């Protein structure tokens, strides 16, 4: 018997019991759909974390002021304002692993351009901040040394602010008022998108930190001491983040004259490690969910084996007749094995379609980021075919070993 004839015979046998065939395929259909959907959701989560890491910058850590206690009450993180611009300079100069250390302060306010206005976050930065965050300018230029030192009225704006204030116009060289202070736009920041908290990173306006200190805050006591809200530290590629963190801790404890055994008056957050941990957790969760979904494929395979055993029993006399007219054992083996694989592949094809629909539904209605790849589809379909071969072999082998005389006498 040729393979084509065996395939036609298998198809006729399955079509003769359509309802039973559909119920047999149900486990495979659910298993394949579940595997594809879970992998798509997990991969989407991983890609989202990777995008956040790219938006954050590579090898970056954040130095923040620590907490302060008053009358036994701990006021929480960043309530102790002790970090200064000089601390950032010391970190950049004295820690060999550090590529750049960018002091940053922030506030919020209304930005006005003509008849348009927009409330946004205002950052006081230096050019080092762009290098620390791997953040480029799509147009315009960096601040020059005289602007940074002289509290110049210049600014960069993010893509969101540019869109809200200027629409499709080029913002460079346009004038805006920041808390009533006129500023000239000298650069437009590249698009960053949302961060891990869902905040729009492009909804920002950046000015020289000296401008924020002297013109926006008005030169108060904290400004005169050059206090900063945080220091963004970027470590050289290939160098140890842990060694850099330890070096920064030791340096700042010396600068703040912290006694041994006393709590650090600052905090260091390794943002890259946090996001890498999230990515690793997403991958592990994807594998676990795919493994759980894969159980459905095994259950579906057991269903195929049971139905094929029933089919062999029902068609025992047919098998004996085929053998009596010249069919060999391998022909019978091929016929029943093809039936099992056809059930598995057909169920896999329906499962792929259902999985694609479920993936679209999760992305569209739940708003989750999903990523359905050809690799996941081929994996699920290939595994379903393997299930058909594995669980269909025993019934097929049992059918091929029947003795013709006994099969013909079977009632």
Predicted confidence (pLDDT) per residue in 154-210, tens digit: 999 999 999 999 988 999 999 999 998 999 999 999 998 877 666 788 999 999 999
Q: Where are the beta strands (DSSP E) in 67-215?
A: 69-70, 73-74, 98-113, 116-125, 137-140, 154-157, 175-178, 181-189, 204-208
Percent of the chain having pLDDT more than 90?
A: 30
Q: What is the reported pLDDT for 274?
A: 63
Residues 6+ apart with CB under 8 A from 335: 1, 6, 9, 10, 396, 399
* Res 382: pLDDT: 81
Distance CA 39, CA 286 (A): 6
With cut-offs at 50, 70 and 90, classify the pLDDT of residue 100: very high
pLDDT of 142 higher than 60: yes
| Whether the predicted pLDDT of 137 surpasses 90 | yes
When pLDDT is averaged across residues 29-57 and rounded to a whole number, the result is 74
| E-assigned strand segments in 362-401 | none
pLDDT at residue number 260: 86
pLDDT over 90 at 152, yes or no: yes
Helix 329-365, helix 374-400: angle, nearest 10: 150
Percentage of residues in the chain having pLDDT higher than 70: 84
| Residue 75 scores a pLDDT above 60 | no
Q: How many residues does the chain have?
A: 411
Mean pLDDT of 296-315: 77
Strands 181-189 and 154-157: parallel
pLDDT at 108: 92
**Please, where are the H alpha helices in 172-240?**
209-211, 221-224
Which residue's structure tokens are 């579940």? 34
Cβ-contact 264, 66 below 8 angstroms: yes
87/215 Cα distance (integer angstroms): 22
pLDDT confidence tier of residue 153, bands split at 50, 70 and 90: very high
């Amino acid at each position: 018997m040729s393979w084509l004839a065996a395939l036609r015979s298998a198809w006729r046998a399955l079509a003769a019991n359509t309802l039973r065939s559909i119920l047999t395929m149900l486990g495979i259909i659910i298993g394949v759909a579940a595997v594809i959907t879970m992998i798509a959701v997990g991969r989407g989560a991983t890609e989202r974390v990777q995008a956040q890491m790219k938006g954050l910058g590579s090898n970056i850590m954040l130095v923040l002021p620590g907490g302060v206690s008053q009358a036994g009450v701990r006021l929480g993180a960043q309530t102790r304002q002790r970090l200064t611009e000089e601390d950032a300079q010391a970190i950049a100069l004295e820690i060999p692993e550090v590529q750049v250390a960018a002091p940053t302060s922030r506030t919020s306010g209304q930005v006005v351009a003509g008849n348009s206005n927009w409330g946004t976050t205002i950052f006081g930065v230096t050019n080092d901040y762009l290098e620390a965050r791997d953040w480029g300018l799509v147009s315009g230029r960096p601040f020059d040394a005289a602007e940074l030192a002289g509290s110049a009225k210049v600014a960069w704006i993010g893509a969101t602010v540019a869109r809200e204030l200027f629409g499709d116009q080029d913002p460079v060289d346009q004038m805006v008022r920041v808390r009533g202070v006129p500023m000239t736009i000298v650069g437009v920041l590249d698009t960053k998108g949302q961060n891990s908290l869902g905040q729009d990173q492009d909804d920002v306006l950046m000015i020289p930190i000296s401008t924020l200190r002297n013109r926006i805050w008005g030169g108060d006591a904290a400004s005169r001491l050059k206090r900063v809200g945080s220091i963004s530290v970027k470590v050289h590629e290939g160098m140890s983040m842990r060694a850099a963190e330890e070096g920064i801790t030791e340096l700042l404890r010396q600068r703040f004259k912290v006694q041994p055994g006393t709590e650090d008056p600052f905090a260091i957050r390794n943002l890259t490690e946090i996001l890498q941990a999230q990515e690793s957790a997403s991958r592990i969760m994807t594998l676990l969910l795919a493994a759980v979904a894969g159980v459905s494929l095994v259950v579906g395979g057991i269903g195929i084996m049971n139905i094929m055993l029933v089919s062999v029993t029902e068609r025992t006399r047919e098998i004996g007749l085929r053998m009596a007219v010249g069919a060999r054992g391998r022909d019978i083996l091929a016929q029943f094995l093809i039936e099992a694989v056809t059930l598995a592949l057909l169920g896999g094809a329906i499962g792929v379609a259902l999985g694609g629909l479920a993936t679209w539904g999760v992305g569209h209605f739940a708003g989750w980021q999903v990523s359905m790849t050809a690799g996941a589809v081929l994996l699920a379909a290939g595994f379903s075919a393997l299930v058909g071969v594995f669980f269909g072999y025993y019934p097929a082998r049992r059918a091929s070993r029947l003795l013709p005389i006994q099969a013909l006498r079977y009632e």
